[in-house]
């Protein structure tokens, strides 16, 4: 048992609830790919995958080989899709994990072909198109070489194309509508150039936001990450956040009016006050930009973080919470009683997306799983 005062608490029941809700919302027409990259967005593949498997979902999205390896060790026998272009060496190392690779353009196809040759068997691939204008790893339709690339991919016995994909740059409905329309056209043309019978290849571009906001973006498969964990900007109010970041007050002291607080004397007490030290700092993944801007919950009351953060501690003003004492629970993200520090709160204070913070919290702090659903995971066929 860890003696660390800080921990991330994962609500397994919330993940199960969110998965259920998303499936209900999307209906059976589009296959669901559950995205568990970045150790399930910091929530733990070991926590999330059994829930996904129990629900009968048989496609998951990962990025790294260790994630795919963990999924196989947990008994997942379904399809694993890598959601980014991989290095040739990574693909070779992943041979026995049976990953469907994301082909990020004509050049990258060469690397995947080389990996397939050294593995001695064809690889199942998803061909990424730049239809949405992300310009990260998709083949651009305007590239004069694109037709030649497609014909070469079609003629390569090392590649077995199973899907055509794209990825949106913005969580904005108009942007998604336009991008999805372009993708549908280009994917159809790519299918013809690849010589595949119409409708055979799986076409997919939608993430949580797109799938929940623009039904026309769903196509054959949707790749759902954020919504599983209860954090999406799509209007899906019944999703439940699945993570809390929690620590405890280690000590409280009174300080006189006019005191400066913490490193660089960045904070200041305008009146006499009581300051609590909380053992959690930037080395634990709490962004230093939140110092002086974010707040926490103590006894169900909002209390501001008043220093610039240390490596492993931060300072909270609890002057207005007279009952606060050493040992009290401090919630830095999530609910405490009827109060909540939401993703939007973290985003407003930090100027960046909440996922940039909580994916790190989950990997840097001990994880405790609560509210585990009763059903046993069943391996997928």
Ligand X SMILES: *Cc1c(COP(=O)(O)O)cnc(C)c1O
Decide: is 17 part of the binding site for ligand X (CB under 6 A): no
Record the tokens describing residue 232, joined without a space.
Answer: 């999406």
Q: How far is the CB of 51 from ligand X (least distance, A)?
A: 16
Decide: is 179 part of the binding site for ligand X (CB under 6 A): no
Question: Crossing angle of helices 106-119/146-155, nearest 10°?
Answer: 20
Q: Which of 207, 217, 247, 313 binds ligand X (CB under 6 A)?
A: 207
- Dump strand ranges (E) for the chain: 7-11, 31-35, 59-62, 79-82, 99-103, 123-128, 159-165, 202-206, 221-224, 243-248, 251-255, 260-261, 267-268, 273-278, 295-298, 301-304, 314-317, 329-336, 339-341, 367-370
Q: Nearer Cβ to ligand X, position 51 or 261?
A: 51
Task: Identify whether 203 is a catalytic site residue.
Answer: no
Q: How far is the CB of 40 from ligand X (least distance, A)?
A: 11
Q: How far is the CB of 137 from ligand X (least distance, A)?
A: 9
Sign of the C-alpha dihedral computed for residues 160, 162, 164 and 166 taken in this order: negative
Please count the residues of this chain forming the interface with ligand X, following the rule CB under 6 A: 12
Decide: is 223 part of the binding site for ligand X (CB under 6 A): yes
Site string for ligand X, 129-168 (x = CB under 6 A): --------------------------------------x-
Decide: is 225 part of the binding site for ligand X (CB under 6 A): yes
Decide: is 213 part of the binding site for ligand X (CB under 6 A): no
Q: Which of 48, 131, 208, 313 binds ligand X (CB under 6 A)?
A: 208
Cα atoms in the Cβ-side hemisphere of radius 13 Å centred on 117: 8
Q: Nearer Cβ to ligand X, position 282 or 361?
A: 361
Contacts of 54 (CB under 8 A, 6+ apart): 16, 373, 375, 376, 377, 378
Q: Which positions from 65 through 84 interact with ligand X, judged by CB under 6 A?
A: 83
Decide: is 303 part of the binding site for ligand X (CB under 6 A): no
* Of residues 95, 102, 105, 116, the one with CA closest to residue 149: 105
End-to-end CA separation in angstroms for the chain: 35
Catalytic residues: 37, 263
What are the residues binding ligand X (CB under 6 A)? 35, 37, 83, 167, 207-209, 223-227
């Amino acid at each position: 048992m860890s003696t660390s005062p800080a921990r991330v608490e994962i609500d397994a029941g919330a993940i199960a609830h969110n998965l259920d809700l998303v499936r209900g919302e999307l209906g059976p027409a589009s296959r669901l790919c559950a995205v568990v990259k970045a150790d399930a967005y910091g929530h733990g593949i070991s926590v999330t995958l059994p829930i996904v498997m129990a629900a009968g979902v048989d496609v998951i999205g990962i990025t790294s080989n260790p994630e795919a390896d963990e999924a196989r060790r947990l008994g997942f026998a379904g399809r694993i899709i890598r959601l980014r272009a991989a290095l040739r060496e990574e693909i070779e190392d992943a041979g026995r994990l049976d990953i469907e690779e994301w082909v990020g353009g004509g050049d990258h196809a060469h690397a995947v072909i080389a990996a397939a040759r050294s593995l001695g068997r064809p690889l199942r691939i998803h061909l990424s198109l730049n239809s949405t204008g992300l310009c990260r790893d998709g083949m651009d339709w305007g590239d004069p070489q694109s037709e030649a690339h497609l014909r070469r991919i079609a003629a390569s016995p090392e590649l077995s194309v199973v899907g055509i994909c794209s990825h949106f740059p913005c969580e904005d409905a108009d942007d998604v509508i336009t991008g999805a329309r372009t993708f549908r056209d280009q994917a159809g043309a790519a299918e013809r150039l690849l010589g595949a019978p119409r409708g055979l290849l799986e076409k997919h571009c939608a993430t949580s936001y797109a799938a929940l906001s623009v039904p026309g973006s769903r196509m054959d498969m949707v790749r759902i990450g954020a919504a599983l964990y209860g954090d999406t900007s799509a209007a899906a109010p019944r999703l439940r956040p699945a993570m809390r970041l929690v620590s405890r007050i280690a000590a409280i002291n009174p300080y006189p009016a006019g005191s400066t607080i913490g490193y660089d004397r960045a904070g200041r007490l305008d009146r006499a006050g009581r300051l609590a030290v909380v053992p959690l700092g930037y080395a634990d993944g709490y962004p230093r930009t939140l110092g002086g801007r974010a707040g926490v919950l103590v006894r169900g009351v909002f209390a501001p973080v008043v220093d610039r953060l240390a490596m492993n501690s931060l300072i909270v003003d609890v002057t207005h919470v007279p009952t606060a004492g050493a040992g009290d629970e401090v919630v830095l993200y999530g609910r405490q009683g009827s109060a909540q520090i939401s993703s939007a709160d973290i985003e407003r204070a930090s100027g960046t997306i909440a996922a940039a913070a909580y994916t790190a919290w989950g990997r840097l702090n001990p994880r405790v799983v609560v509210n585990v659903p009763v059903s046993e995971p069943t391996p997928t066929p």
